[in-house]
Chains A and B, each alone.
Chain A
Amino acid sequence: MTKYNRFPISIFLLLALFISGCEKGKEDIIDDVPPEIHIDFGEAFPIQCSTLKKGEKFAFRARFSDNTELGTYSLDIHHNFDHHSHTTEFEECNLQPKKDPLKPFLFIRSYDIPKGQKSYEAVQEIEIPSDIDAGDYHFMIMVTDATGWSKMIGLSIKIE
């Protein structure tokens, strides 16, 4: 046996020590849980197949929760005159015939949630102008947590 035979073994041991050494130390706590959106309580609005009225205000109401801290939420209302429906709900509402948009209602807004909240009930008054196209719309609710995990749900609604 030559003197070189010990060499690979010692390299191995060194490496094993090196790699295992990297594992030690304080592990950071990792948040890997996305937030949740709840619309399954009595006052929640809108819900799947709700109807909104032109020229009137309505109150959006939903609950958000997260295991650590909520971030912000965003609401988006856009037309579904082309039936591109991407609702998360299995029950589909009765859609009106397809049509071309003339002056569809478009609403994109995001809102802060007070810092440090694990659960939050969002209430937001939204006014629908009177000079917009009536018909099928989508109501999208998106929420993030402070880490950047997100959750979205899409609802089919009507504006009359």
Chain B
Amino acid sequence: MKRLTALAFTILIISFTYAQDKRFTLSGTIVDTQGKALSNVSIRVLSGGHTVQSNEEGKFCIKDLRPKIYAIAFSYLSFSSITRKIEIKNSSVDLGNVVMTNAHYTIKEIDVLGETYPTTLTGFLNREIVDQQYIHKHLGGSLMQTLSRLPGISNIGIGSGQSKPLIRGLGFNRIVVVEKGIKHEGQQWGVDHGLEIDQFATGDIEVVKGAASFLYGSDAIGGVIDIKPEALPEKGTVSGSFDLIGKSNNALYGSSANIKGRIENWVYGARVTYQNYGDYRVPTDTVHVYDYPVRLDKQKARNTAGREFNIHANAGYVTDNFRSVFYMSRNSAQSGFFANAHGLEPRRVDTDLHDASSRDFQMPYQEVKHLKVINRSSLSVGIHHLEMEAGFQHNFRQEYSMYVNHGYMPPIYPDTMKTPSDLERQYDKRVYSLNVRDRFSVGQHTFVAGFNGEYQNNAIDGWSFLIPGFRQYTGGAFLYDRYRLNERVLLHGALRYDHSHIETVRYTDWFPSVVSEENRVTETEHLVRADNLRRSFNSLVWSVGSSYHVGDFSLNTNLGKSFRVPIAKELAANGVNYHYFSYEKGDPTLSPEQSYQLDIGIQYSRNRFSFGLHPFYNYFSNYIYLNPTPRHDHFYGSGNQVFEYTQSKVRRYGGELKVNYRLSESFRTELLAEYVKAKQLSGSKKGYTLPFSPPPSVLTNLSWQPRDTGILKDTYLSIDLHLFAAQNEIVPPEKKTPGYGLVNIQTGHSLFIGCQPVTINLQVQNLFDKKYMDHTSFYRLIEMPEMGRNIVLTLSLPLTIKNTDN
């Protein structure tokens, strides 16, 4: 049914474009004097009233022109306008490249490092910005896999479609993911829980590497991934796009289609994305789940198929001084867990059932639905620019697995239980968020004052227990000041105060456990797994920094204190982690994590060369860490090893290096390197690193992107050689991971079929089908290698349905 809806929607969009009478078209590509494509250039037919804009590749296409002589004006901010007379006789006209000259030679080339001058709040921090084009070129199984090509970013993956971000080795609740201004809240703590974000429905993505608590509050201690909404449509336009995706490794097929438009000041848009994939293939026949050998059928990771269906809609009112847009999205995903490595202990499974089809999934599997309703508004009054985001989120996660009695659970699931026997765990979370900011300038100062508030209510269900239900509210206020000292130096400072409160809900086992056996008298009790707990936390954090900019050189420094409030799992977990076969125990007395971080960014760019170095140094006075103990648990599970949350001093340092060199007009080469080292300075694991420490890696890239001539349009061919060092610094229960090298190829081409542009992107990931272990992969512990060769093909059709100025 869902597939049908998606298909119908797509057909509807396509049919729009063809329901037009045949006249002639005028097309071309706008470039600057360097041959670089210019997007958003206005192309106006002076005598006819048509206005179109060039797309990201600089292309434009004006349809529906009668034979006549036209005056066409090309205009673009900070470029000299051009007017040309063009005669259309009895065929369509392609102008080829239209070169526009930059009117102000001071505009800097900003694409080289992906860095922009620090005029935004995060501008002082080390960050990366990517757009949809980057996502299409490097499309991975999920948004975080796509982003992990960036230096300093990796991901903790589980299977082919789920993963969560890791920035400089910190992840989970130490990274804030913001979508359309609202902090994304799911069950971030779970290693096996992916991020419920549709990677086709994103605008620019800004990744902040390093602490940004002063702006985002708790959790932004390791970094921020800020996913901006798709750009709003221009006046009088109706446009859309249609993407087709196919992947060879897990036989994925998918599609994403959208439509957006603007009538006067009213904007609207909608998108549908559907993906369906089978079990993914790994280059091995046997994996070792701890010490248990498991044979794979046709080298496929058993039961890792899944599907995803997302719908989005938005509508709003936009003027120069005021805008208010409502966004609604609903993501739903179902995917299987590798069947042999789930539960209390590694298991043999019904291979006939699982291996019958590689496209279906049986138990164990997860099902997640994430609903979001967001309003984003802004208003400019005098010197004040007010911004507001209000959001509601409902995250509903269910994990299904056949009942297996743990510890003293009855051998047969009682039929008096209300919870279904296959519902292992359920998390039902509702989140209400509000952000308000006021930005204003006084003299050389630019101030931003803001407030963030959030309320979470998390209910649990299922026959097994790990974390209790909880209610939590947080509120924080900040003041930020940027001061322009002179032409070269900007200073900034920020101060923030937060208060938060959490209450966990008491949980008592539904079954009795044997608590003592003396003189053959057995005493049983319904154990209390988590008690009522109330904790409040207050934090004061700050950040100071400077930006120095002269000629081709710039230097950013930032020093700040960040914090993170312990989450319900860290305070009150008391159960078995079904993936690690470990027993996890929270500590209700934990205090908020405090972190001090120094970030430096050095950038230099001249002519064909650019260079960026971003070192950091970070000290945690009390990092919350899941510490493996020598003890075993008796009551829950099957005598699993006990892991408990503790706090220790941690020192981290490292950085990223980016070097870019343009060999010639069409060839460029790039080097991206990352390094991070963490060390625990106190506690029982003194001297050890932190779990999931990414190994040092170097990515070298050579790309060929010729100027558009003849049949070459947006043609590119690019080769990545990504080398990873061995990771020998581990904590229990991790394993050392040998080094490896990967070769990935990306290529693409754009063509016009009539007036319809089509962009083709093709990728070959892991070209040599290399068998390797990713140290930060969730399945690393069970010796499951990563995906073998994978060919990813995407076809993108931007659709222009209506394009006239009113």
Residues of A within 8 A of B382 (CB): none
Q: Are A72's CB and B638's CB within 8 A?
A: no
Residues of B within 8 A of A114 (CB): none
Residues of A within 8 A of B736 (CB): 32
Shortest Cβ gap from A58 to chain B (Å): 18
Q: Are A101's CB and B411's CB within 8 A?
A: yes
Question: Once the chains are docked, how many angstroms separate the CA of A39 from the CA of B790?
Answer: 44
Question: Once the chains are docked, how many angstroms separate the CA of A29 from the CA of B639?
Answer: 29
Q: Are A108's CB and B687's CB within 8 A?
A: no
Residues of A within 8 A of B730 (CB): 32
Say which one of A15-23, A44-52, A118-126 lies at the interface with B. Answer: A15-23
Shortest Cβ gap from A67 to chain B (Å): 13
Q: Are B345's CB and A86's CB within 8 A?
A: yes
- A26 — nearest CB in chain B belongs to which residue? B687
- B729 — nearest CB in chain A belongs to which residue? A30
Shortest Cβ gap from A106 to chain B (Å): 7
Residues of A within 8 A of B555 (CB): 7-8, 11
Q: Are B653's CB and A108's CB within 8 A?
A: no
The A-contacting residues of B in range 619-638, CB under 8 angstroms, are 627-634, 638
Question: Once the chains are docked, how many angstroms separate the CA of A154 from the CA of B346?
Answer: 10
Say which one of B227-235, B240-248, B290-298, B798-806 lies at the interface with A. Answer: B290-298
Residues of A within 8 A of B640 (CB): 142
Question: Once the chains are docked, how many angstroms separate the CA of A152 from the CA of B687?
Answer: 26
Interface size on A, residues (CB 8 A): 53
Q: Are A7's CB and B733's CB within 8 A?
A: no
Chain B 581-622 per-residue mask, 1 if CB under 8 angstroms from chain A, else 0: 000000000000000000010101000000001010100000
From B290, B405, B407, B631, contact of A144 by CB (8 A): B631
Is the C-beta of A43 less than 8 angstroms from some C-beta in chain B? no
Is the C-beta of A159 less than 8 angstroms from some C-beta in chain B? no
Greatest chain A CB density within 10 A among B292, B407, B408, B686 is at B292
Residues of A within 8 A of B629 (CB): 71, 144, 148
Question: Once the chains are docked, how many angstroms separate the CA of A4 from the CA of B728?
Answer: 41
From A29, A71, A108, A154, contact of B407 by CB (8 A): A108
Question: Once the chains are docked, how many angstroms separate the CA of A150 from the CA of B604?
Answer: 49
Residues of B within 8 A of A100 (CB): 412
Greatest chain B CB density within 10 A among A12, A104, A110 is at A110
Residues of B within 8 A of A154 (CB): 292, 345
Q: Are A4's CB and B632's CB within 8 A?
A: no
Residues of B within 8 A of A101 (CB): 411-412
Q: Are B602's CB and A88's CB within 8 A?
A: no
Residues of A within 8 A of B405 (CB): 106
Residues of A within 8 A of B408 (CB): 106
- A22 — nearest CB in chain B belongs to which residue? B653
Q: Are A84's CB and B347's CB within 8 A?
A: yes
From A15, A102, A103, A149, contact of B615 by CB (8 A): A15
The B-contacting residues of A in range 102-160, CB under 8 angstroms, are 102-104, 106, 108-110, 140, 142, 144-154
Question: Once the chains are docked, how many angstroms separate the CA of A7 from the CA of B407?
Answer: 65
Q: Are B291's CB and A151's CB within 8 A?
A: yes
- A100 — nearest CB in chain B belongs to which residue? B412
- B548 — nearest CB in chain A belongs to which residue? A7
Given A11-B555, A19-B653, CB of A148 within 8 Å of CB of B638: no
Question: Once the chains are docked, how many angstroms separate the CA of A104 from the CA of B411?
Answer: 7
Q: Are B641's CB and A148's CB within 8 A?
A: yes
Shortest Cβ gap from A85 to chain B (Å): 5
- B638 — nearest CB in chain A belongs to which residue? A76
Q: Are B347's CB and A144's CB within 8 A?
A: no
Residues of B within 8 A of A110 (CB): 631-634, 639
Is the C-beta of B483 less than 8 angstroms from some C-beta in chain A? no
Q: Are A86's CB and B639's CB within 8 A?
A: no
Residues of B within 8 A of A78 (CB): 638
Q: Are B639's CB and A148's CB within 8 A?
A: no
Q: Are B638's CB and A140's CB within 8 A?
A: yes
Question: Once the chains are docked, how many angstroms separate the CA of A18 from the CA of B411?
Answer: 60
Residues of A within 8 A of B729 (CB): 30
Q: Are B292's CB and A109's CB within 8 A?
A: no
Chain B 342-353 per-residue mask, 1 if CB under 8 angstroms from chain A, else 0: 000111110000
From B613, B630, B728, contact of A72 by CB (8 A): B630
Is the C-beta of B1 less than 8 angstroms from some C-beta in chain A? no
The B-contacting residues of A in range 67-92, CB under 8 angstroms, are 71-76, 78-79, 83-88, 90
Is the C-beta of A94 less than 8 angstroms from some C-beta in chain B? no
Is the C-beta of A27 less than 8 angstroms from some C-beta in chain B? yes
Chain B 717-752 per-residue mask, 1 if CB under 8 angstroms from chain A, else 0: 000000000001110110010000000000000000
Q: Are A15's CB and B600's CB within 8 A?
A: yes
Greatest chain B CB density within 10 A among A79, A86, A88 is at A86
Residues of A within 8 A of B290 (CB): 152
Shortest Cβ gap from A100 to chain B (Å): 7
Q: Are B615's CB and A19's CB within 8 A?
A: yes
Residues of A within 8 A of B628 (CB): 144, 147-150
From A11, A73, A74, A75, contact of B602 by CB (8 A): A11
Question: Once the chains are docked, how many angstroms separate the CA of A101 from the CA of B404?
Answer: 12
Q: Are A150's CB and B732's CB within 8 A?
A: yes
Given A29-B687, A83-B348, A85-B348, CB of A150 within 8 Å of CB of B641: yes
Instruction: Kindly list 20 other residue pairs between chains A and B, CB separation below 8 angstroms, not including A11-B555, A22-B653, A76-B638.
Output: A8-B553, A8-B602, A15-B600, A32-B730, A73-B632, A74-B641, A75-B639, A85-B348, A88-B292, A103-B411, A110-B639, A144-B641, A147-B628, A148-B628, A148-B630, A148-B732, A149-B732, A150-B628, A150-B641, A154-B345
Which 3 pairs show the lowest CB-CB distances between chains A and B?
A71-B630, A28-B687, A148-B628
| Residues of A in contact with B (beta carbons under 8 Å apart) | 2, 4, 7-8, 11-12, 15, 18-19, 22, 27-30, 32, 34, 71-76, 78-79, 83-88, 90, 100-104, 106, 108-110, 140, 142, 144-154
Name 15 interchain pairs, CB-CB below 8 A, sorted by A: A2-B551, A4-B551, A4-B553, A11-B602, A18-B615, A74-B639, A84-B404, A86-B347, A103-B411, A106-B405, A106-B411, A109-B639, A144-B641, A147-B732, A152-B290
